[in-house]
Amino acid sequence: MDNGFMWSAKELDEYNKFIPQLYEAAISPELWCERLDCLAGMLQTQNAIIMHIENIRPEISEYSFHANSWVPGEAIAEYLSLGLNQNDGSAYFHQQDLYDFSVGDEVRHSNGDTTPSRFYPWLEKTTGCNQAAGMCVSKDAAGYDILTVHYRDDGLFEPTAASDKLRFIGPHLTKVLEMNRPVHLLRHRYGAFLDVLDRLRIGVAILNANGEIVIINEEFTRILDSKDALTVGAGQKLTARDDQDARGLSQAVQKLGRMAFIEKSSENLRLNSRINESSAYLLDLAPLREKHGTFGGQFTGVLATVVDPFWYTDINTDLLNRHFALTRTETDVFDAVLRGLSNSEIADHLGKGPETVKSQLASVYRKTGVKDRLELVRLAVQMIIPLREDQIISG
C-alpha cells in the first residue's frame, strides 16, 4: 500500500470481502449493526458508531445514528446528549483530516477545553470503555459524517494503525454514507407508499441520477433475489442480466435522471425473462425531483417500478375505469388481466366466449393506448404512483 502499512494476505482478504457488505447497508440500514460489529472486530475496538450530523434540515433529522450491538438501545439517547456537546471530542472530529483517527481528549484539549469530561465516566459505566476516538469520513454542505469507536486504554486498539486500515476502506465508507443519507428521509416521505406497493406485489426502487439504488421495497428486493431479468451491479447500480437490456436500462436512467426538464413522463423497458421465454418484465422508469431542499438541495433521480410477470396483482381500477370510460364488461376483463388470467381463463371466469373476451380486451387496449397485457399492467401501476410532490403520500 502507498501509505506504508503492511497488510497480511489474511487482512487484505478480510477487508476486500467487507467492502461489498458495506454497500448492502446503504440501502438496508437495518444491516448497520451487524456491519459495525464486523468493523469493530477488524479495528480491535469494542464499540463502533456512525453518525451524520445534519446542518440543513434539523426539523427533519438533526442527526442519523447507527451503532454496533455493544451500545445498548436504551442508552442511545443519553449517549447523544453527552457525545454531541462541547465536552468531548465528537464536536471536533469533523475538523480533522479525512480518515485520521484522533483520541477524544487530545482533540478536545487541543481546542482549549481542559474541563473534566462528563462523557467518559458515563461511557465506562455503560459499556466498560474508558476511551473514545473518532475520524471524519465525509464533509459536505449538508453536514458531516463521523466514525467513532470506544475502547479500553489497556486494550488492542491503536489509533494510528486503525487510520492506516481505514484509508483502505474509507472512500467506500464515505460513498456508502452518501448513499445512505437520504434513505431515512425518503422513507419518511415515501414509507407508507412503499408499504402499500409491497402488499400489491409492485416492486419500487428509487435510483439516483447515476442509477445507484437509494431505497428499495421488499417486492423489488424479491424480484432481484429471483436472479431473473434484473440484478444489482457494481456500486449498487440497478442493471439487467442481458447485456442489451443492461445498456438500454443505463441509457434510460441517464436520460431521465439528468433531464433538465421533464419532457416525458416515463420510459418503459421490456426485459426478457430467463426463466420463461414467453414472458417478460416491464420496467417503468420515471424522473423524480425534490425541489424544496429536503436533501440539502435538489434530489434528482429516477423512480423505477416493475411487476413480476409471474406475480400479477389486484389493483383498484376505479380511477382507470373512469378515466378511460371503460364499460362494465371491459372493466371485468381488465381486472382479470391484472390478476394474471389468460384469455381462456377469463372466458371461463366471466362465462363468455373466447372471441368475446378477445374483442373486449382489444377495446381496452384501444381505449388505454397500450399494445399488450404488460403495458396494461404498467399503466395501472403508473396511475397509482405519486410522481409529483403534490401527489406524494406522506408516511
pLDDT (tens digit per residue) in 102-137: 887 787 777 777 887 778 888 888 888 888 888 888
Of the candidates 308, 337, 343, 342, which has an alpha carbon nearest to the alpha carbon of residue 320? 337
Q: Which CATH topology does 200-311 take? A: Beta-Lactamase (3.30.450)
Place of cell 459524517: 145
Residue among 146, 157, 123 at smallest CA distance from 50? 146
How large a percentage of the chain has pLDDT more than 70? 73
Query: Architecture of domain 318-373 in CATH?
Result: Orthogonal Bundle (1.10)
Contacts by residues 365-370 (CB-CB < 8 Å, ≥ 24 positions apart) = 367/324, 367/325, 367/326, 367/330, 368/320, 368/324
**pLDDT-based confidence at residue 185 (cuts at 50, 70, 90):** low
CA 356 to the chain's CA centroid: 46
Same fold, 9-180 and 318-373: no
The owner of cell 373486449 is: 360
Q: Which range, of 183-187, 219-223, 303-307, averages the lowest pLDDT? A: 183-187
Residue 363 has pLDDT above 90, yes or no: yes
List the grid coordinates of 298.
Answer: 435538489
Residues 80-106 have a mean pLDDT of: 73
Check pLDDT > 50 for residue 394: no
Q: Which of 23-27, 46-50, 156-160, 321-325 has the lowest mean pLDDT?
A: 23-27
Element (H, E) at 107: helix 104-110
Confidence of residue 248 (pLDDT cuts 50, 70, 90): very high
The enclosing H or E element of 183 equals helix 159-199
Across the chain, mean pLDDT equals 76
> Hey, what's the cell of 81?
446528549
Rounded distance, CA 138 to CA 145, Å?
5
- Which among 233-237, 274-278, 391-395 has the top mean pLDDT? 233-237
Please check whether residue 214 is in contact with residue 208, taking contact to mean a CB–CB distance below 8 angstroms: yes
- Comparing 299-303, 368-372, 374-378, the range with the smallest average pLDDT is 374-378
Render 328-395 in DSSP notation, one character per residue. Answer: HHHHHHHHHHHTT--HHHHHHHHT--HHHHHHHHHHHHHHHT-SSHHHHHHHHHHTTS--SGGGPPP-
Q: How confident is the model at residue 315 (pLDDT cuts 50, 70, 90)?
A: low
Q: Indicate the pLDDT class of residue 2, thresholds 50, 70 and 90.
A: very low
**Mean pLDDT of the 12-18 span:** 82
Contact assessment for residue 250 and residue 301, using Cβ atoms and an 8 Å cutoff: no
Q: Give the pLDDT of residue 312.
A: 56
Distance of CA 178 to the CA centre of its chain: 11
Bridge partners of residue 149, in order along the sequence:
48, 133
Residue 27 has pLDDT above 80, yes or no: no
Tell me the per-residue pLDDT of 258-305, one tens digit each, with 9 for 90 and over. 655 444 456 778 888 877 766 678 787 877 765 544 444 456 778 888
Place of cell 376505479: 318
State residue 278's pLDDT score: 61
Length of the chain: 395
Domain ranges in the chain are 9-180, 200-311, 318-373
Q: Is the pLDDT of residue 193 over 80?
A: no
- Kindly write down the DSSP assignment for every residue of 162-179, as one continuous string: HHHHHHHHHHHHHHHHHH
CATH number of 9-180: 3.30.450.80
